[in-house]
Protein backbone atom coordinates (compact mmCIF):
# COMPACT_ATOMS: atom_id res chain seq x y z
CA UNK A 1 0.00 0.00 0.00
CA UNK A 2 1.33 3.42 -0.85
CA UNK A 3 1.72 6.18 1.72
CA UNK A 4 -1.29 8.54 1.80
CA UNK A 5 1.08 11.48 2.47
CA UNK A 6 3.98 11.14 0.02
CA UNK A 7 2.92 8.22 -2.20
CA UNK A 8 6.04 6.16 -1.45
CA UNK A 9 5.58 2.39 -1.30
CA UNK A 10 8.27 1.76 1.33
CA UNK A 11 6.10 0.87 4.33
CA UNK A 12 6.88 -1.14 7.44
CA UNK A 13 4.16 -3.13 9.25
CA UNK A 14 4.15 -2.46 12.99
CA UNK A 15 2.92 -5.33 15.18
CA UNK A 16 0.72 -3.67 17.83
CA UNK A 17 -1.92 -5.16 20.12
CA UNK A 18 -4.32 -3.62 22.61
CA UNK A 19 -7.88 -4.19 23.83
CA UNK A 20 -10.31 -4.30 20.93
CA UNK A 21 -7.61 -4.01 18.26
CA UNK A 22 -5.79 -6.71 16.33
CA UNK A 23 -3.07 -6.10 13.80
CA UNK A 24 -4.61 -8.64 11.43
CA UNK A 25 -7.77 -6.54 10.98
CA UNK A 26 -6.13 -3.10 10.68
CA UNK A 27 -2.34 -3.41 10.35
CA UNK A 28 -0.46 -0.27 11.36
CA UNK A 29 2.04 0.90 8.75
CA UNK A 30 4.91 3.38 8.89
CA UNK A 31 6.26 5.07 5.76
CA UNK A 32 9.98 4.50 5.36
CA UNK A 33 10.30 7.78 3.47
CA UNK A 34 8.33 10.46 5.38
CA UNK A 35 7.64 8.72 8.72
CA UNK A 36 3.82 8.88 8.58
CA UNK A 37 2.15 6.19 10.73
CA UNK A 38 -1.32 5.10 9.61
CA UNK A 39 -3.75 2.23 9.34
CA UNK A 40 -6.52 1.44 6.89
CA UNK A 41 -9.85 0.86 8.61
CA UNK A 42 -12.07 -1.38 6.53
CA UNK A 43 -15.71 -0.76 7.32
CA UNK A 44 -17.49 -2.46 4.46
CA UNK A 45 -18.21 0.27 1.93
CA UNK A 46 -16.63 3.13 3.90
CA UNK A 47 -12.90 2.33 4.05
CA UNK A 48 -10.89 5.17 5.63
CA UNK A 49 -7.34 5.98 6.63
CA UNK A 50 -6.61 6.66 10.30
CA UNK A 51 -3.48 8.83 10.78
CA UNK A 52 -1.74 7.84 14.02
CA UNK A 53 1.39 10.02 13.72
CA UNK A 54 1.90 12.86 11.27
CA UNK A 55 4.81 12.79 8.82
CA UNK A 56 8.13 14.31 9.82
CA UNK A 57 8.73 17.74 8.36
CA UNK A 58 11.95 18.06 6.37
15 — pLDDT class (breaks 50, 70, 90): low
Does residue 49 lie within any of the structural domains?
yes
Checking if the pLDDT of 54 tops 90, the result is yes
Please compute the mean of the pLDDT values over residues 21-35 and round it to a whole number.
Answer: 76
24 — pLDDT class (breaks 50, 70, 90): low
Q: In terms of residue numbers, what domain contains 22?
A: 11-53
Does residue 5 lie within any of the structural domains?
no
Per the structure, the count of domains in the chain is 1
Pick the more confident residue, 17 or 39.
39
Does residue 26 lie within any of the structural domains?
yes
Please compute the mean of the pLDDT values over residues 22-46 and round it to a whole number.
Answer: 81
CA distances 6 to 10, 34, 48, Å, are 10, 7, 17
Checking if the pLDDT of 25 tops 70, the result is no
Does residue 4 lie within any of the structural domains?
no
Does residue 16 lie within any of the structural domains?
yes
Alpha helices in the chain (DSSP H): none
Amino acid sequence: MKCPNCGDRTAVDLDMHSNGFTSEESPVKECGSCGLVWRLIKDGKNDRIDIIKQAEKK
